[in-house]
């Protein structure tokens, strides 16, 4: 096996690892829940990604950590901000992309990217969980459905209603009130996605939307969010095959550059 490097992205909800070859090929990846101990999550994710290849950490030339818990990875050779890593990762999957919308477990960010994958501008919402993966989980729980069902039923909404709050606590209360008022779950689900789209469109407006646009992060797996965002922004979103590993992939690309002579 030629040179191998790794990128580990320790998010608030999930930890992701990408193993990359010297030829820039993704050899394996892993995604798991972060839990309360970020160091343990990072070790477990990395070991699982390596195990599928029949290797261990000693076979890696360089490791870069990124994300919320990047400073808690003692085996990392370097740590890099998630903005830089998401920009690089998005460029790897879609070299033509100039705007990246990343919605993770607890924060949202919009990044302007140049042709070489460098972040040139960004805006981040990390003070509130509004519109994030955690927000979606709480809203689905309030509706009494799972995330996949919530996305599905929103397709059949007929009545246009609003969920006005983007605060997780207040939005949950609002949904309970709408259910008590006799509104169908499908209408409320569609309203939830529209509220998220409004929130992200507001972030995007702060730096300006430049096409083409990619969406990354776990929330990119939500068809309801993707549809609502595409309608609100008026653009088609490019989504990687596995949108959760984009930051880890960017970290691995940086690790590769540092490892090569």
> Do 109 and 215 share a structural domain?
yes
Q: Which residue in this structure is represented by tokens 């090569």?
A: 260
> Using CA atoms, how far apart are residues 223 and 229, in angstroms rounded to an integer?
10
Domain match, 173 and 83 both? no
The distance of Cα 162 from the centroid of its chain, to the nearest Å, equals 25
pLDDT tens per residue across span 171-218: 888 999 999 999 999 999 999 999 899 989 999 999 999 999 999 999
Domain that holds residue 120: 95-239
Terminal Cα-to-Cα distance of the chain (whole angstroms): 17
Question: Mean pLDDT over all residues of the chain?
Answer: 92
Same domain, 222 and 253: no
Tell me which DSSP letter residue 115 carries. T
In the chain, the number of structural domains is 2
pTM: 0.92
Beta bridge partners of 111: 100, 122
133 and 234 housed in the same domain: yes
**Do 235 and 106 have their domain in common?**
yes
pLDDT for residue 261: 75
With beta carbons less than 8 A apart as the criterion, state whether 232 and 1 touch.
no
Q: Could you tell me if 15 and 129 lie in one domain?
A: no
* CA–CA separation, 118 and 32 (whole Å): 27
pLDDT digits (tens, 9 = 90+) for 209-256: 999 999 999 999 999 999 999 999 999 999 999 999 999 999 999 999
Same domain assignment for residues 100 and 59: no
Give the residue-averaged pLDDT of 104-128. Answer: 89
Beta bridge partners of 158: none
Does residue 119 sit in the same domain as residue 221?
yes
Specify the CATH number for the domain of residue 23: 3.30.420.40
Whether residues 130 and 156 share a domain: the answer is: yes
Both 162 and 82 in one domain: the answer is: no
In this prediction, what percent of the chain has a pLDDT beyond 70? 97
Q: Same domain for 142 and 203?
A: yes
**Using CA atoms in the order 36, 16, 106, 122, what is the torsion angle rounded to 10 degrees?**
140
Taking the C-alpha atoms of residue 3 and residue 80, their distance in angstroms, rounded to an integer, is 21
β-strand pairing of 78-79 with 26-33: unpaired
Q: Are residues 63 and 128 in the same domain?
A: no
The residue behind tokens 């006799």 is: 182
């Amino acid at each position: 096996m030629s040179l191998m490097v790794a990128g580990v992205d320790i998010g608030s909800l999930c930890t992701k690892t990408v193993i990359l070859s010297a030829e820039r090929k993704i050899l394996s990846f892993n995604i798991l829940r972060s839990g309360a101990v970020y160091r343990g999550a990072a070790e477990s994710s990395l070991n699982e990604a390596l195990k599928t290849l029949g290797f261990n950490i000693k076979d890696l030339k360089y490791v870069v950590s990124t994300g919320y818990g990047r400073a808690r990875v003692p085996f990392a050779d370097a740590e890099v901000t998630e903005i830089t890593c998401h920009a690089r990762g998005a460029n790897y999957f879609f070299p033509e992309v100039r705007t990246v919308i990343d919605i993770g477990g607890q924060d949202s960010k919009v990044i302007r990217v140049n042709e070489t994958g460098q972040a040139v501008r960004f805006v981040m919402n990390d003070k509130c969980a509004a519109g994030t993966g955690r927000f979606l989980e709480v809203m689905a729980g309030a509706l009494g459905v799972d995330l996949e069902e919530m996305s599905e039923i929103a397709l059949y909404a007929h009545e246009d209603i609003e969920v006005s709050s983007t605060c997780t606590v207040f939005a949950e209360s609002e949904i309970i009130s709408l259910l008590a008022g006799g509104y169908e779950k499908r209408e409320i689900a569609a309203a939830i996605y529209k509220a998220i789209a409004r929130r992200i469109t507001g972030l995007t407006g702060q730096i300006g939307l430049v096409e083409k646009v990619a969406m990354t992060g776990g929330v990119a797996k939500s068809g309801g969010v993707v549809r609502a965002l595409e309608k609100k922004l008026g653009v088609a979103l490019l989504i990687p095959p596995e949108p959760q590993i984009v930051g880890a992939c960017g970290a691995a690309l940086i690790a590769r550059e540092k490892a090569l002579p």
